[in-house]
């Protein structure tokens, strides 16, 4: 990459896409064009004088306008299955038409499925029924199809990405810690927590975007430390300065998760079909509003059965190939990453 080339980052309104756009801008390593679906996604990026463009991945004309003049695309769009699969196909199609020099697709280690042991890039994709993981498998198939048609494609597969602006693995975990409902999951939290701090991930993505040997390759990008989920929870809790976590009995954890899962499903259905009347009810009735807030907090601060399965997964994703081929060396250990994350949480008023 050079300071004169333009890189389009799709999904720049999101956690990882936003970080890539900001780091490209601040490092002056290239001209960044931050692609967002709608202007409501520009709030975070508006802190910097960088170029922002509407890039709706479901609209090929929108993609074409955003991509014009770019030489590299870093594709970070997530969301619905349709956005991940069809949206990725649309972006690939336009990239091939415009003869993009490099296309970097952000995938996930979830494409490997519920496996155990040391996992490198030679492992095949396995469908698990999880909508996100299965959609990413289909998106990868499209990437390889376009690679075979002449588009220079590279795929990166991160595991658990944490750091400032991470809704799931930083903000969400902090909320759970502060709720008093979280703890050490005896019998469930001893699986490997494959963490990578977001700045290390961005570093790896940018290495993949500029290294010639990365074309036609997929890379796992993980952090430098091997820890369990229970260790992550302990360290995060300590970094927040909270009292020690309680030990949660495995039977109680499973029963509670199993009881709350159908309530979550029902709640999603109700919100999808009756959000307007529910909003009106909560505005006019203090008791209803309090009950809805209590239910929301309870569901968000207790694990799902799928969470417990993840916390018990004994899979170690290897980044040896990324180290040997593109020189990827993560620099942020967990203590440093958590310190920076908690400082950010404090600065934005979330702890």
| Domain residue limits at 21 | 6-157
Give the residue-averaged pLDDT of 43-49: 92
pLDDT at residue 345, rounded to an integer = 98
State which of 156-160, 186-190, 283-287 shows the largest mean pLDDT: 156-160
Q: How confident is the model at residue 289 (pLDDT cuts 50, 70, 90)?
A: low
- Shared domain for 103 and 171, answered yes or no, is no
Q: Both 263 and 134 in a single domain?
A: no
Collapsed DSSP state (helix, strand, coil) of residue 58: coil
In this predicted model, what pLDDT tens digit does every residue of 74-103 receive, in sequence order? Answer: 999 989 999 999 999 999 999 999 999 999
pLDDT at residue 125 is higher than 70: yes
Co-location of 110 and 256 in the same domain:
no
253 has pLDDT over 80: yes
Same domain membership, residue 109 and residue 53:
yes
Residues 174 and 84 reside in one and the same domain:
no
In sequence order, the 6+-apart residues with CB closer than 8 A to the CB of 71 are: 5, 6, 7, 100, 101, 102
Question: Looking at residue 301, what is its pLDDT?
Answer: 77
The number of distinct structural domains making up the chain is 2
pLDDT digits (tens, 9 = 90+) for 181-229: 899 999 999 999 999 999 999 999 999 999 999 999 999 999 999 999 9
Q: What is the CATH number of the domain that holds 22?
A: 3.40.50.720
Per-residue model confidence as pLDDT tens digits over 292-319:
666 667 777 788 899 999 999 999 999 9
Q: Both 147 and 278 in a single domain? A: no
Structural domain includes residue 323: no
257 pLDDT band, cuts 50/70/90, is confident
Q: Where among 157, 179, 213 does a domain terminate?
A: 157
Provide mean pLDDT across the span 247-256. 87
Measured CA to CA in angstroms, residue 82 lies from 69, 73, 131 at distances of 27, 20, 10
Final residue belonging to a domain, choices 157, 186, 211: 157
Looking at residue 283, what is its pLDDT? 74
Q: Does 246 map to a domain?
A: yes
Tokens of 242: 């909270």
- Would the pLDDT of 2 be above 70? no
Amino acid 32: pLDDT: 97
Provide the pLDDT confidence category of residue 3 given band limits of 50, 70 and 90.
low
- Give the CA angle between residues 233, 239, 245 to the nearest 5°: 40
| 46 vs 37: CA distance, rounded Å | 15
Tell me: do 188 and 132 sit in the same domain: no
Residue 327, domain member (yes or no) = no
Please check whether residues 140 and 36 belong to one and the same domain: yes
Give the end of a domain, one of 112, 139, 157: 157
**pLDDT at 222 (0 to 100):** 98
Q: Write the CB contacts of 101 (distance below 8 Å, at least 6 apart in sequence).
A: 5, 71, 72, 152
**What share of the chain in percent tops pLDDT 70?**
91
Residue 271, pLDDT score: 63
- Residue 260's pLDDT is 81
Residues 147 and 110 in one domain: yes
Domain membership of residue 319 (yes or no) is: no
* Rounded Cα–Cα distance for residues 210 and 346 (Å): 35
**pLDDT value for 51:** 96
138 and 173 fall within a common domain: no
If pLDDT is split at 50, 70 and 90, which confidence band does 143 have?
A: very high
pLDDT given for residue 251 in this prediction: 87
66 and 177 within one domain: no
Say whether both 11 and 153 belong to one domain: yes
Q: What is the pLDDT of residues 332-348, one digit of tens each?
A: 999 999 999 999 999 99
Q: SS3 of 146, please? A: helix
The reported pLDDT for the residue numbered 267 is 66
Locus of tokens 């019998």:
187
Provide the mean pLDDT of the chain: 92
Q: Do the domain assignments include residue 81?
A: yes
pTM for the model stands at 0.92
Residue in 157, 151, 147 with CA at minimum distance from that of residue 322: 157
Considering the domain boundaries, does residue 43 fall inside one? yes
pLDDT of residue 37: 93
State how far the Cα of 192 lies from the Cα of 311, in Å rounded to an integer.
7
What's the CA angle centered on 161, arms 156 and 165, to 5 degrees? 120
């Amino acid at each position: 990459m050079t300071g004169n080339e333009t890189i389009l980052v799709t999904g720049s309104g999101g956690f990882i896409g936003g970080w890539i756009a900001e780091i490209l801008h601040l490092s002056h390593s290239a001209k960044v064009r931050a692609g967002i679906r709608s202007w409501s996604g520009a709030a975070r990026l508006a802190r910097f004088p960088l170029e922002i463009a509407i890039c709706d991945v479901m609209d090929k004309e929108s993609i074409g306008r955003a991509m014009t003049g770019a030489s590299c695309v870093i594709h970070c769009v997530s969301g619905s299955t349709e956005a991940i699969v069809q949206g990725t196909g649309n972006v690939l199609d336009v990239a091939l038409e415009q003869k993009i020099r490099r296309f970097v697709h952000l995938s996930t280690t979830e494409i490997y499925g519920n496996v155990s042991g040391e996992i490198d890039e030679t492992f095949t994709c396995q469908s698990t029924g999880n909508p996100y993981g299965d959609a990413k498998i289909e998106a990868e198939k499209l990437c390889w199809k376009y690679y075979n048609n002449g588009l220079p494609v590279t795929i990166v597969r991160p595991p658990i990405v944490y750091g400032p602006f991470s809704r799931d693995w930083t903000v969400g975990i902090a909320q759970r810690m502060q709720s008093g409902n979280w703890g050490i999951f005896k019998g469930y939290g001893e699986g490997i927590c494959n963490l990578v701090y977001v700045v290390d991930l961005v570093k790896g993505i940018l290495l993949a975007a500029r290294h010639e040997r990365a074309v036609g390759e997929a890379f796992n990008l993980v952090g430098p430390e091997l820890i369990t989920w229970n260790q992550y929870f302990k360290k995060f809790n300590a970094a927040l300065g909270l009292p020690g976590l309680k030990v949660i009995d495995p039977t109680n954890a499973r029963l509670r998760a199993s009881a709350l899962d159908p309530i979550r499903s029902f709640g999603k259905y109700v919100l999808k079909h009756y959000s307007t009347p529910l909003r009106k009810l909560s505005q006019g009735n203090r008791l209803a509003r309090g009950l809805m807030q209590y239910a929301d907090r309870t569901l968000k601060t207790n694990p799902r059965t799928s969470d417990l399965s993840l916390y018990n997964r004994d899979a170690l994703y290897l980044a040896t190939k990324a180290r040997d081929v593109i020189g990827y060396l993560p620099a942020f250990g967990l203590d440093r990453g958590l310190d920076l994350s908690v400082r950010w949480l404090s600065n934005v008023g979330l702890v």
